[in-house]
Amino acid sequence: MLSPRFSNEAIKKIRQLELTTRRLIDDVMSGGYRSSFRGQGVQFSEHRIYVPGDDVRHIDWKVSARTRDTLVKKFEEERELTVLVVVDASASQGFGSRARLKSDAAIEIGGMLAFAAALSGDKVGLVMFSSEVEKIVPPRKGKAHVSRLLKELMGHRPRSRGTDLSVGLDAAGRVMKHQGIVVVVSDFLAEGYDLSLRRLARRHDVVAVQVQDAVEKELPSVGFLRVADPETGVSRVVETGSYLFKRWVSEFMAAHSTDRDTAFKSGRADHLVVDAADDMADALARFFRARAARRSR
């Protein structure tokens, strides 16, 4: 039962997203998802008779003494994963030059990842952040839990307009009690998060999904235009065809790109770039397949 705080239109969108992501994951994503992430540890499976060449460190001496056979412990990969989706809810995510906002793309990505985890029997949780932690849904299993995540993603109204990526990353580290997968969905137009990213990646497998809009890289020349920073509210009139303005935009985006690449490299985080207008299912499926291929080598 969906919460009464949602309008009929919102409920319709939630149900449509659920149906769409189910179909897309069943068709193209679930296999790639399952094979692209390995289990995060090993667990005892059973005993078997020692054969020459076995690692003597795995001999279970107590059981061997009791049975009078030399037995070794057999281990298998622990397949169940814990997946945490960390979503940027700051005001810059509300930008979109075409049919879809960056925030809409982030919701779709978060929904698909949640369903992929659920179909694989994994736990999935959610952290939403701006300049503060907006929402935490601890990782759990089950379809009802995934439905709750979708409702939180689609219905949340941020308290803050700013961005502090380190706040979201640090919150993820506190939520994830055991080693797992952390997927961060943001435009990464922020600073000072490299240390938090490295700290998180020391224990967890971190994937950064960067959602961008084509206009952010190159604003079209449309004459004078009033532009506003969605996070601070500061606005000014600019001449979009001006060489100085275009150079400032180019240098600003290049600086963020350099900082981003450095942070991802030092934090050993996989990096996927998507445009808000892209087919998110196709983009995620290609990413999962490529990741699975790399890990199988």
The predicted-structure confidence for 15-30, as pLDDT tens digits, reads as follows 666 666 666 666 556 5
What is the residue-wise DSSP string for the chain?
Answer: ---TTS-HHHHHHHHHHHHHHHHHIIIIIHHHHHHHS--SSEEEEEEEE--TTS-GGGB-HHHHHHHTS-EEEEEEE----EEEEEEE-SGGGG--SSSS-HHHHHHHHHHHHHHHHHHTT-EEEEEEESSSEEEEEEEE-SHHHHHHHHHHHHH---S-----HHHHHHHHHHH--SS-EEEEEE----SS-HHHHHHHHTTSEEEEEEEE-HHHHS----SEEEEE-TTT--EEEEETT-HHHHHHHHHHHHHHHHHHHHHHHHTT-EEEEEETTS-HHHHHHHHHHHHHHHHT-
What's the predicted TM-score (pTM) here? Answer: 0.77
pLDDT of amino acid 60: 86
Which pLDDT belongs to residue 80?
A: 72
- Judge whether residue 175 has pLDDT over 60: yes
Residue 88 clears pLDDT 90, i.e. is over it:
yes
Which pLDDT score, from 0 to 100, does residue 169 have?
A: 97
Average predicted confidence (pLDDT) for the chain = 80
- Residue ranges and CATH numbers for the domains of the chain are 8-36+80-295 (3.40.50.410), 42-77 (no CATH)
What local confidence, expressed as pLDDT, does residue 126 receive? 96
Most confident segment among 8-17, 51-60, 130-139: 130-139
Report whether pLDDT(46) > 80.
no
**Separation between Cα atoms, residue 119 and residue 113, nearest integer Å:** 10
Give residue-wise pLDDT tens across range 182-200: 999 999 988 899 999 999 9
- Which of 8-12, 47-51, 156-160, 252-256 reaches the highest mean pLDDT? 156-160
